[in-house]
Chains A and B, each alone.
Chain A
């Protein structure tokens, strides 16, 4: 089947930038998403990007998409302790996203 892969752990110091990487295999992916999950909570949609875009910025978040390499990244500027969470990359091929595939999640730890 099609896969979405992420590194499992990332540790940064407060105030630094965090970069979380994701690769996917389905070349027909249309939408790519980043979700955040805090302990005991559901998934919070952070941002998404259409496959015809290569960059999207939203306040401290920057998403970069390299469609040729099927590589997606999420950069968090000025990382805060409140950013500590698990970040999931996901992709879907249709506008109805019930076929959404998720990565295993990257646990971001922000040290003071």
Chain B
């Protein structure tokens, strides 16, 4: 069974640009959650999607958005990038948003 995949693995952008990250969950999983990991703030929850609907959202500005497709694949978008958005963005999938979350390898975003 393939694990959670994220693309791209590494990304370098400049301030003011926008970026789209992609996550493919484990086959059959319908819940996808996104997290931001930084040395200073640790792991912080961004949002969760289930059946193409955003079910919950963390405390991030509106520049951070996402969506989920009918095949459960999810994308997250960050507009007007800031230096502080440099982080490892992790995606996790689970069957229904229950406790067993499986994480992808992450996308490391560097904003210069």
B4 / chain A contacts, CB cutoff of 8 Å: 42
**Cβ-closest chain A residue relative to B96:** A96
Pair B98/A96 contact, Cβ less than 8 Å: yes
Contact with B along A47-69 (1 / 0, CB 8 A): 01000000000000000000000
User: In the bound complex, do residue B99 and residue A33 qualify as a contact, i.e. CB atoms below 8 Å apart?
Assistant: yes
Question: Are the CB atoms of B104 and A98 closer together than 8 Å?
Answer: no
Determine whether the beta carbon of B99 is less than 8 Å from that of A42.
no
Contact partner, B99, options A40, A92, A103, A105, Cβ 8 Å: A92
Contact at A40–B105, with CB atoms within 8 Å?
Answer: yes
Residue of B42, B94, B99 contacting most chain A CB atoms (<10 Å): B99
How far is A96 from B48 in the complex, measured between Cα atoms in Å?
10
Q: Interface size (A, Cβ < 8 Å)?
A: 23
Residue total for B at the interface (Cβ-Cβ under 8 A)? 25
Q: How far is the CA of A48 from the CA of B94 in the complex (A)?
A: 15
Chain A residues, CB < 8 A from B71: none
Contact pick for A98, options B6, B45, B106, CB 8 Å: B45
Report which of B42, B47, B97 forms a contact with A96, defined as CB distance below 8 A: B97
Residue of B nearest to A92 (CB): B99
Which B positions have Cβ atoms within 8 angstroms of A?
4, 6, 31, 33, 42-43, 45, 47-48, 55-56, 90, 92, 94, 96-106
8 of the cross-chain contacts (CB-CB < 8 Å) are A33-B99, A42-B4, A90-B43, A97-B98, A98-B45, A99-B45, A102-B42, A102-B43
